[in-house]
Structure 1
Amino acid sequence: MATLSMKPGLRCRVPDWENSNEQISEAAQHRRHISHKIRQEGRALRNETVNKTGWDEYDSSRRLSDRINDIARWKKSLEACAQEVDAEIDALTVAKEETERALAATVLPLEVSAECLTLREGRRGNELVSDPVEAQLKKEVDVIDGAQRVLQQCIDQAFEQLCLLQEAHHQLILDLQHKMEALDVDMSCLSLTVTSPEISLKPNPTRVPPGSTTPQQWEQFSHYNVTRAKEEMQASLQLRENISITRAQVQNELEAQRIATEFTLRKRTHHLEQALQELQWQLKTTQNEITDLEGDIRGLERDMQAKMAPLKLVHTRLENRTKRPGVDLCRDEVQYGLVEEARQLDSTILALKQKLAQAQDSLQSLQHHEAQMLEDLSCKQEALALEQRSMQTRRRLTPTAQSDASSMPVVPLANSRGRLQLA
């Protein structure tokens, strides 16, 4: 018969055992309830987070798309404005270069005017007069000097405006480059998905980068750049119109003064030719008179010489008759006739001498005046030659010569065509 081992232990009562079982059941039921609630809440949270995450991702993608559209819109506006500024820079550069050529074309007229003034300083004697030609030439020099100052002022203004346009163009290009880079970044971000291999966790991704701006500042910046560029283009357009008007006015003034100067020069040359012809006629007439007077003087001298023989005859007869003797030394009719003849011959010789002296004085006066006329003729011929040389010199100012001078290459005062280009 087997022996039962009896171990002492703490024994619970049946009610306690039942209570324990009931507590275990209630705890299990409670925990199952809590777990069920947690599972339901988890499922709801999962559904909510899935929807929220999907919606947030869609909303972010939509915002990125809207942002890309905004950037693309401003990019297009900046590109169009940059092209307009570039075209305006080209147009203003052309206007500036045309003005530089117009300025260079005034060098020749100024040289010609100065050369004409210098040539006319070579006139001698009474021909060195302050005539209307000199006044017109001096006025022409003043007009050309004024035109050069006005054209140079236009060139300086164009250069300054080109600098402003280039600065505005540079700001547009810089802003455009930033827009293109931002567009590339946002388009890259839009193309990313949850399955993209290049996505990863980043340290502190929600930080605000230094230099960040607000959307209002972002839009105001581009709006300012476009507005400023348009203002500079408007100013450039107005300047080009003013330059064109100024060039036309200067050209008209120079042409009008050139015509006035050449008209005065031709008129003066014509008067000088008339005076020269008149002087040549007077000189020829005087020389003919001198020739005739010299012949008459020789005739007077011959006549005086011819009177000496009759005078000697009379003197000899009178002297011989003084030798008559006695009463025959009579003052008869012969004596009175010989005395009267001697007196008449003396009077005739005296008259011939006086007339010869007058003729010689007149000859000397004519010869002196002839020398003066020859000198004046030489001066007039030289003056006429100088006027003709001046007219020949001014032929360089004909429209053909001016067009040739305006077509000469001009070195720009500054390199105004260099601009930044998009990469």
Structure 2
Amino acid sequence: YVRPKTGHFLPAISTMASSYRNTRPAGHNTNQWSTSSYHKNDGTVPTLQRAIPDLLRTVTMSYPANRSTMSTRYTPDDWFKSNQGNYRQSEASRHSAERLRRDTMRLIQDKEQLTRRMQENTSKDIGERLNDIAFWRSELSHEVDNVAGETVALAEVKRRLERALAETERPLQVSQECMYHRDKRMAIDLVHDDVEKDLIKQEVEVIKSCQTRMKQHLERATAQLRLNRAAQHELERDLSDKVTAQRIDDRCHHLRNTSDGIGFFRGIERLDPPESWSKFTDNNVLRSQGQRAASRKLRDEIEALLNGTSSEMWSQFNNVNVSFTSRVAQTADARNSLQAHLTKQTQQEIFQTEMLIESLKKALRDKDNPLKVAQTRLEERTRRPNVELCRDNPHHLVEEVREIEDTIRKLQERLLDAEGSLQSLLRTKVTLEHDLSIKVNSLFLDQEKCMSIRKTFPSVPRLT
């Protein structure tokens, strides 16, 4: 039997009980020795005995007669060594606990000072940040007001330019209307006269050139307004962010360890925001200032454009009015000659062609019944039985049907030709009437309508 190496445990109860012998008389008590009886007589209560369950206390333990089990017990030297080991372990544990307590208290004090110092530094940094935010808020507010004022001024100039562009539409419409009606002249009447030259090469081109420049500047003004509003939007958004950040930092600046609303937010320290803060706001301000400078320059260009285009259009308008008077007499003579030609020839020929068409339609209607009779006879004769269904003399009905169909085809062709001729005459009539209406309209346009409308050409103040 090998003795256990450790000295921290007492021998097993069963081993100790087996080494005792029953020395009581035979008639004293028939119960065997129990552990509780042994320790009661001895006067000592071991620790393990107090931990034994009640069930084991009541169990009787026989004392073996074999003394060889005494060899399983520990020696007194083992017992003293076990006690000394426990004492040394207790001393070491106590010294280690004292050292840990001293180090921990010193660590707590150091970390408390470090935490308080870092919290003070953070509060100081937040206070400085609040001052920076207040400064940039002031800069942003000032720039927002400036760019808003510039946007209003540019929008007003843009409205003036739009009104001036709208004022040019009426003179251009009058000129284009004159050109449009004069372009309706046909054949020899379509003359490239002095009026057309003045309208196309001078007045219309001048007005369109002015309109093109105005539209270009309108597009530039629209784009510049968009840029101004975009810059203002960026400033306002930055300003709104500054207000929100100031409110948040102000609340953070007043937070204390005893404040309400503080809590744990695990992982928030891993957030890595960008550092270019003041540069972003400075770029917004510089961008807004650049847009304001471009807007002022564009307003000056629009003012100069309004003055220049109004003078050009007014000067050319006066030059064109002289060209309208020389063409009225020639147009009146051509109108009278055209009216006589239309009445004497075209209308009479149209009447005769319409009568021919009616005759052809009647002839076609007259061929319907003969064709029906011939086809009915052929259909009936197909019912003859057996050999009676032969090609006899009456079978020439086939030729009759073909002849009538050929006659109908030729009459239909002539009808189509007559209708085509009528359409040609009608188109000629329409052309002559249209040409006549163009002459009348040209006289009305040149003599009454155009000259009366051109007297209401916008003045220079209205254009500018």
Structure with the bigger RCO (C-alpha within 8 Å, sep 6+) is: 1
For normalisation by structure 1, the TM-score amounts to 0.50
